[in-house]
Chains A and B, each alone.
Chain A
Amino acid sequence: MLVVKNLTKRFGDIVAVDSISFEAHEGEIFGLLGPNGAGKTTTIRVIATVLEATGGTAEVAGFDIRKNPEDVRRNIGVLTADIGLYDRFTARENLRYFGELYGLGGEKLEKRIDELIHVLDMGRFADRRAGKFSTGMKQKVAIARSIVHDPKVIIFDEPTAGLDVLASQTVVRFMKNAREMGKLVVLSTHNMHDAEKLSDHVAILHRSKLVTTGSVSEVLQRAGAANLEDAFIKIVGDDEAKSTERARELEQLAKAGKKK
């Protein structure tokens, strides 16, 4: 369903994704894991064809990201950290606009929107303008928006960030349901603890490179670790893990300094 082959993305001198390969299949939750700055979001954007690959390629539902970008987009639903909504539109109107852009319309679209409103528990605010929504409400609408066209592949990038326990559970329940329905759900997160409970297979990125991939049990067995977090530290090495964090902090500070 999703095949990534030697995918590379460079921004000038920065190599954000360095020749990674993995495969993910329908009916599973696939964890795309790694610490901050590992290259997860960039990988997702290249797969979703909003960024152009520098090298390698990927296939989504049999469509190549380079040759058939519009077919790829038709078969994929992506949620990133940018969960902004049209503030002067109601939740329903937001969903309707995107549904129409995905080629839906009429009765069918209205039914799909009602279904999403029910599944994601948005009934209370579906017909209110989005301008005054809380983060949790916005996140739910953004999730519904990303899957309004009922895609075969669903990619969620940090879907529970900023959500309270109840809202997080709604999202988790939704991902499990989607798996039952035979979808491929790619869950991208730096939180390996959460991902371990949900994922069937995982790919772990670190410093733009793929560190390991396979089923959760395979990865744990190979590393001889009790959980994914330990496995990650065992694989990349204790010192490396710490120095990565330090490098990230320095980079962040340098960025903040530049802005001023």
Chain B
Amino acid sequence: MKEIYTVWKKELLDNLRDRRTLLTAVLMPIVLMPVILIGTFKLQEYTIKRAEEKVITIAVDSKQSAPTLISYLESQDKLQLSEVPPDIFESKIDDGSLNIYLGIPETFESDFSAEKPVEIKVYHKSSNVDSSSASQRVMVMLQVFNQQSAAQRLGTKGIPPEALMSIIPTPEDTATTQERGGFFIGFLLPMFLVIFAITGGMYIAIDVSAGEKERKTLEALLFVPVSRFKLVMGKYLAVATTSTVTIILSLGSLYTAFKAFPPSGLLGDEVVIDLSIGAIGIMLLVGIILAIMFAGMLLSVAIFAKSYKEAQNYISPFYLVAIFPIAIVNSIPDFKPTEPLFIVPGVNAVFVVKELLLGVFDVTHILITIGSLLFFAVTAIVIATKIYSKEGILFRD
């Protein structure tokens, strides 16, 4: 036991002096996780707000031809009306100086007072983002104008304007605020959890195994009267400690960041991410076991390599293999994972975290996930010890 502790302590201290480990295992989770997740929220809020607040540039051939409609449009907020000859409006929409052109017939005023319907052409360019979003807003304005003038006409005929309304459609969202927030970070948070479970232990895993071969300290280590299992165990625990710290730091800093700057205003409603202590505890537990499992996998992959470079080459695809299914499954909306899927390491942690964020406590899913992750962690350590005990791996050139 003492030897395992000696190796563990040495590897941690050694890697604490390595800038790469400090950067990827400590600094990145503290800074990056909240910045990316909160940044995404804020960016979305910002783009929605910006689109709503943008002033629409709209033009007609001649303001005189339709004073009723023009005075209505001029009373609208965030709308800038001008006169543009019909032969050049298209090029103006193309160069962005104009969003919308209204084609109003010359007979508008007389037809309007004769209560004949008048066709108004709303020229826009659907391939241009500003123009197409402006056209939606202009269409709404014209519909409101339509309703107002219709109500006026009915009023003069003594009919109440409600006669026009047969139904009043009102949208009601059944998702609770927790669900809306849960779905949103349910997408990004589990993804980052997996990424940090890997990156946290990556450099130290390479350093204690392939790094030792590259620096040529391995043979001296093998001369000591300590079993290979204990050496591997000490190294493994150092990797697991580092990735566990990374997970705790990233979840902790994320939680603090959400408390300090609650993301609000999404979809109009306040999105509250208010997790119970129990949910946070399980999420942390799953995250830690995930990190512990990846620590074992990383170590057995890196132990196989001769040099730092080779180890990195082995680990990069391993990264993709771990993240790819998660990315795919994550992008399927309303995906309901079946129980066997909770056996797949990595993917299962994503599902459990997602469920917890949605306020679901499924004990079976949680237990299968923890069991599977522990099983793979132990398997990985056994493999790493086996590889470490093989002389060919140590002395091949």
- Whether chain B is bound by chain A comes out as yes
Q: A residues within 8 Å of B by Cβ?
A: 45, 48, 50-52, 70-71, 73-74, 76-78, 80, 82-89, 97-98, 100-103, 142, 145-146
Tell me whether A86 and B14 are in contact (CB under 8 A): yes
Contacts of B3 in A (CB 8 A): 100-101
Tell me whether A86 and B394 are in contact (CB under 8 A): no
Tell me whether A70 and B215 are in contact (CB under 8 A): no
Contacts of A80 in B (CB 8 A): 219-220
- Take A84-B216, A97-B10 as given contacts and tell me if A48 and B395 are in contact as well, using a CB distance cutoff of 8 Å: no
| Cβ contact of B224, chosen from A73, A86, A88, cutoff 8 A | A73
Q: Which residue of B lies closest to A76 (CB)?
A: B223
Q: Which residue of B lies closest to A79 (CB)?
A: B220
A1–B235 Cα gap in the complex (Å)?
A: 34
Q: Which residue of B lies closest to A72 (CB)?
A: B225
A112–B222 Cα gap in the complex (Å)?
A: 21
A2: min CB distance to chain B, Å:
16
Q: Which residue of B lies closest to A84 (CB)?
A: B216
| Cβ contact of B226, chosen from A77, A85, A101, A145, cutoff 8 A | A101
Q: Which residue of B lies closest to A73 (CB)?
A: B225
Q: Is the interface of B mostly helix, strand, loop or mixed?
A: helix
Q: Which residue of A lies closest to B230 (CB)?
A: A101
Tell me whether A82 and B217 are in contact (CB under 8 A): yes
Q: Which of B111-126 contact A (CB under 8 A)?
A: none
A34–B225 Cα gap in the complex (Å)?
A: 29
| Cβ contact of B215, chosen from A86, A97, A146, cutoff 8 A | A86
| Cβ contact of B225, chosen from A83, A86, A97, A102, cutoff 8 A | A102
Tell me whether A98 and B224 are in contact (CB under 8 A): yes
Interface residue? B6 (CB, 8 A)? yes
| Cβ contact of A85, chosen from B6, B215, B218, B394, cutoff 8 A | B215
- Take A84-B215, A86-B215, A88-B14 as given contacts and tell me if A146 and B391 are in contact as well, using a CB distance cutoff of 8 Å: no
Tell me whether B220 and A146 are in contact (CB under 8 A): yes
Known: A78-B223, A87-B215. 15 other contacts (CB 8 A): A50-B394, A73-B223, A73-B224, A76-B223, A82-B216, A82-B218, A84-B215, A84-B217, A84-B220, A85-B217, A88-B18, A100-B3, A101-B7, A101-B224, A145-B220
Q: B residues within 8 Å of A by Cβ?
A: 3, 6-7, 10, 14, 17-18, 215-227, 391, 394-395
The 3 closest A-B pairs by CB, nearest first: A84-B216, A82-B216, A73-B225
Tell me whether B224 and A50 are in contact (CB under 8 A): no
A86–B15 Cα gap in the complex (Å)?
A: 11
Tell me whether A82 and B226 are in contact (CB under 8 A): no
Q: Which residue of A lies closest to B231 (CB)?
A: A101
Tell me whether A51 and B215 are in contact (CB under 8 A): no
Tell me whether A97 and B18 are in contact (CB under 8 A): no
| Cβ contact of A82, chosen from B219, B224, B227, cutoff 8 A | B219
A149: min CB distance to chain B, Å:
8
Q: Which residue of A lies closest to B17 (CB)?
A: A88
A83–B219 Cα gap in the complex (Å)?
A: 9
A165–B7 Cα gap in the complex (Å)?
A: 36
Sampled A-B contacts (13; CB under 8 Å): A73-B223, A78-B223, A80-B219, A82-B218, A82-B219, A84-B217, A85-B217, A89-B14, A101-B3, A101-B221, A101-B225, A101-B226, A146-B223
A83–B215 Cα gap in the complex (Å)?
A: 9
- Take A51-B391, A51-B395, A97-B10 as given contacts and tell me if A142 and B220 are in contact as well, using a CB distance cutoff of 8 Å: yes
Contacts of A98 in B (CB 8 A): 220, 224
A179: min CB distance to chain B, Å:
21
A101: min CB distance to chain B, Å:
4
Tell me whether A50 and B215 are in contact (CB under 8 A): no
Q: Which residue of B lies closest to A80 (CB)?
A: B219
A97–B218 Cα gap in the complex (Å)?
A: 13
Contacts of A145 in B (CB 8 A): 220
Tell me whether B224 and A102 are in contact (CB under 8 A): yes
Tell me whether B225 and A50 are in contact (CB under 8 A): no
- Take A88-B17, A100-B6 as given contacts and tell me if A50 and B226 are in contact as well, using a CB distance cutoff of 8 Å: no
B233: min CB distance to chain A, Å:
13
Contacts of A74 in B (CB 8 A): 225
Q: Which residue of A lies closest to B394 (CB)?
A: A50
A203–B32 Cα gap in the complex (Å)?
A: 63
A77–B224 Cα gap in the complex (Å)?
A: 9
Q: Which residue of A lies closest to B216 (CB)?
A: A84
A97–B6 Cα gap in the complex (Å)?
A: 7
Contacts of A70 in B (CB 8 A): 225-227
B276: min CB distance to chain A, Å:
43
Name the residue in B10, B218, B221, B225 with the highest tally of chain A Cβ atoms < 10 Å from its Cβ. Answer: B225
A52–B223 Cα gap in the complex (Å)?
A: 13
A62–B272 Cα gap in the complex (Å)?
A: 72
B395: min CB distance to chain A, Å:
7
A91–B373 Cα gap in the complex (Å)?
A: 40
Q: Which residue of A lies closest to B6 (CB)?
A: A100
Contacts of A85 in B (CB 8 A): 215, 217
Tell me whether A50 and B223 are in contact (CB under 8 A): yes
B156: min CB distance to chain A, Å:
90
A100–B14 Cα gap in the complex (Å)?
A: 16
Contacts of B14 in A (CB 8 A): 86, 88-89
Q: Which residue of B lies closest to A142 (CB)?
A: B220
Q: Which residue of B lies closest to A97 (CB)?
A: B10
Name the residue in B6, B215, B220, B222 with the highest tally of chain A Cβ atoms < 10 Å from its Cβ. Answer: B220
Q: Which residue of B lies closest to A102 (CB)?
A: B224
B309: min CB distance to chain A, Å:
15
Contacts of B218 in A (CB 8 A): 82
| Cβ contact of B222, chosen from A50, A76, A77, cutoff 8 A | A50
- Take A97-B6, A97-B10, A100-B6 as given contacts and tell me if A86 and B217 are in contact as well, using a CB distance cutoff of 8 Å: yes
A50–B7 Cα gap in the complex (Å)?
A: 19
A103: min CB distance to chain B, Å:
7
Contacts of B18 in A (CB 8 A): 88
Contacts of A48 in B (CB 8 A): 223
B215: min CB distance to chain A, Å:
4
Contacts of A52 in B (CB 8 A): 391
